[in-house]
Structure 1
Amino acid sequence: MRSYSLTHAAHLAQRALFGGAQPLEAVSTDRIVLHQAEEIISPPAIYLESELEKIQSFHPETTRETEERRIRGGVHRHAATVAYRLENVRLRDAGFYKGRWSMYFPRIDLKDNDKPAITSKAVCALSSSYCGVQYFGHWLRDDATTRLVAETFGEPLAIRAPDWPHRAFYASAFGQDWTPTDAADIETLFVIRDVGQNSHKIARYQELRRRIRRAVTPKYTGHGVYLARGDSGIHKRIIRNEPEVIDFLIRRGFHILDVTRDPIEEIAATMLDAKLFVSIEGSQQSHALYLLGAPAGYVAIQMPTMVNNIWNDFAAQISCRYGFVIGAARDDGVEVDIPALDKTIDMIADDIACPK
């Protein structure tokens, strides 16, 4: 969460005295549309109808309406990709300030509370997002792609984020420097609105997939992978019968990986060009965006109280078919219905014409 600073408090007082907050559009000197909004048809998820009866509630960052669209498929309007040009912007305490406009991020304190030196920058483009400095999955999926846009406008500028163990590997494979800037006076700053999963962004996913394949050699082809999450992440998603799930998947020929135990080099080489992928819903599924083959299939194990089929927004963009099973609540975790998982894998394998 945002921790307020003296800089931010002073900004709030200023805008209260002089007319309230200004939107980004009001303080920008130019608005550059890189790609118009467009409608894209999302295919339906693959699932057993009985799974829908297990849903109790949805992840706090989604809605019932959104999930119904992700499950049933249909036309979805994706926002435009737009860059805004601002002049004379201050960056302090993980916040950007110009006049009565501000854009701030969760702040990560420096070691020993060192006060960062204020640097002067000529032309920069913001490559970080609010969620991308909190969640590894959002950084990998959102910020790494926005970075490709930022590079076309000026020096990419990154906000300090946690030192996630897998980030350095991807940054190197993508050819990206994510050294953070903590305080700066910026002559020109481009702020990029890049939330729409439009064709412009799809092309950037494909570019990063190409870069991964130049950096990593696959260990297998046409195989299945299960990626365990363990107890990692802000939201705990414990599979109570995971040993039984793993035994079942091994019998189906799957390779087993664990994000909390296996080196990222092993994860990437094993997942690269996999045809079938199974994992519990969470940030770790973002590895699949760049590593799965095409075509491929992915089955997400869902918490019944935090259902979030966000992956179906990305699956078709990399020629992947998405399906899900809903676990049964057990204490603070879930128990997977293995026969339901088995049937769902079969349905996806048939859909992508993948050998079982």
Structure 2
Amino acid sequence: MAGDLSQHDAVPVTRHAGWTLAAYRYMARKRLSQAQPLDIKAVAAKRWDIAPAETTVSPPALFLPGQLERVTGWEGKRFYPYVHPAKTMQGGIETEQGPTRGYLLKDVWLVDGALYKGRASHWLSLKPSTFPTIRVEHELDRAAIYCTQNGNTWFGTWLMEDCPTYALACDEGVPVTTAPSTRYPLFTQTLAYEHWLGMQPARLRSAFFRELVLFDDQSNNRNRHARYRAMGDKLLAHVPHTPHPGVFLLRGGDGERRMLRNELEIAEHLRATRGFRIVNPLQWDVPSIVAACAGAQVVIGVEGSQLVHGVNVLQAGGCVLALQPPNRFVSYYKYLTDRDHQYFSFVVGTPDGDGFTIDIDEVERTLDLYQARRV
């Protein structure tokens, strides 16, 4: 079978035994032509704005003097239009947040996780295999894709970006994802979050869509803010919660290597001195993680996807404190906290072998900066 449907047979999918050479035609054209591939949204039959564009001005991050001077490496794409993170962290940047936009396409093939229409294509998963399937067994009258290639690669992106787009997809057709089936989920905590968020997508790798809706949903406008906060409210509805000082989310050795050598020491210190809760997302289930994070005023940990568990339920006025490796400074969470009326703060570590260490006193003083803002 070319595609695996969702958890529920109620998804209105027509079974259709058909053959397509769409992927092979595309690969042949690409090899014979020097032109750049045409993005599939360029051949949309209709496009419309779901939410308008708007202009925002970023607030400054909270950080101690001398922190940025330690930075030796960064992800430049996370600091557009600046290369070094200094301007981004200093705030005052006026940004045009684009509109949230929908695109309607007709007669589209989904083959091995990629969309094809004529000479246009769009990858939703990692690039297809050299010899993709040519048999398509599912045909849908109208569907909406909410997943992205980045969301199918990184857990944090899936939860913070793809999941909010799911709400848009539900308004336009059968919500479809190319992520693996329920038997082999993309991330270990996918299914638990989908259950608590009420997500019931159709899971397909290959299909034919008579009508298909795609989205531009990367801008941090008020519409995206509202959908993300609604997700947080759904999660909070499952657990009792009252305000508490904060949660330290352990990263350990998971994901891309960012080894904080004194991670446990810092976590235990904050538990003893400030009443922070310590959470190990690699060993806890989703209900336990959400229950511990709910009500936290501060979400702290090594910069990385594990912080999303706390950011999901962080309320307006709360703070994300990212412990940054000096050779890999990332500002992704700042754009989210700016959008959601929260504070972003950071401490930059110092190299220690193949990892780094963080000064506990600097963590304490950075937390004091936040507490001073809250007064």
> Distance in 2 between the 1:115 and 1:10 partners?
11
1:107 deviates by 4.0
Greater CA drift, 244-253 or 113-122: 113-122
1:284 deviates by 1.2
Equivalent position of 2:286 in the other structure? 264
> Distance in 1 between the 2:65 and 2:170 partners?
45
Q: Does 1:79 align with 2:102?
A: no
1:23 deviates by 3.6
Q: TM-score, normalised by structure 2?
A: 0.85
> Distance in 2 between the 1:322 and 1:139 partners?
21
Rate the CA distance shift 1:18–1:189 in 2: closer, same or farther, 3 A.
farther
1:68 deviates by 3.3
Rate the CA distance shift 1:171–1:106 in 2: closer, same or farther, 3 A.
same
8 Å CA contact retained: 2:22, 2:109: no
1:7 deviates by 5.7
Equivalent position of 1:239 in the other structure? 260
Q: Secondary structure at the match of 1:313?
A: helix
Identity percentage of aligned residues: 26
Rate the CA distance shift 1:189–1:69 in 2: closer, same or farther, 3 A.
farther
Greater CA drift, 93-102 or 305-314: 305-314
1:183 deviates by 0.7
Q: Summarize deviations over 1:321-350 as a string: whole Å, max 9, x none.
A: 110000112222110111111100111122
How many residues of Structure 1 are paired with residues of Structure 2 in the alignment? 344
Q: Summarize deviations over 1:66-86 as a string: whole Å, max 9, x none.
A: 633430112222121111110
Residues 1-356 of structure 1: matches in 2 within 5 Å?
8-14=23-29, 20=35, 21-59=37-75, 61-63=77-79, 65=82, 67-74=85-92, 75-107=94-126, 118-161=137-180, 162-218=185-241, 220-233=242-255, 235-251=256-272, 252-353=274-375
Q: Secondary structure at the match of 1:130?
A: coil
> Distance in 1 between the 2:109 and 2:23 partners?
11
User: Root-mean-square deviation (CA), in Å?
Assistant: 2.4
> Distance in 2 between the 1:254 and 1:271 partners?
10
Gaps of 5+ in 1: 1-5
Q: Which amino acid aligns with 2:89?
A: I
> Distance in 2 between the 1:32 and 1:109 partners?
30
> Distance in 1 between the 2:69 and 2:214 partners?
43
Greater CA drift, 72-81 or 50-59: 72-81
Q: Secondary structure at the match of 1:291?
A: coil
Equivalent position of 1:3 in the other structure? none
8 Å CA contact retained: 1:60, 1:306: no
1:249 deviates by 0.9
8 Å CA contact retained: 1:91, 1:184: yes
Greater CA drift, 76-85 or 95-104: 76-85
> Distance in 1 between the 2:309 and 2:337 partners?
12
1:260 deviates by 1.3
> Distance in 2 between the 1:150 and 1:299 partners?
33
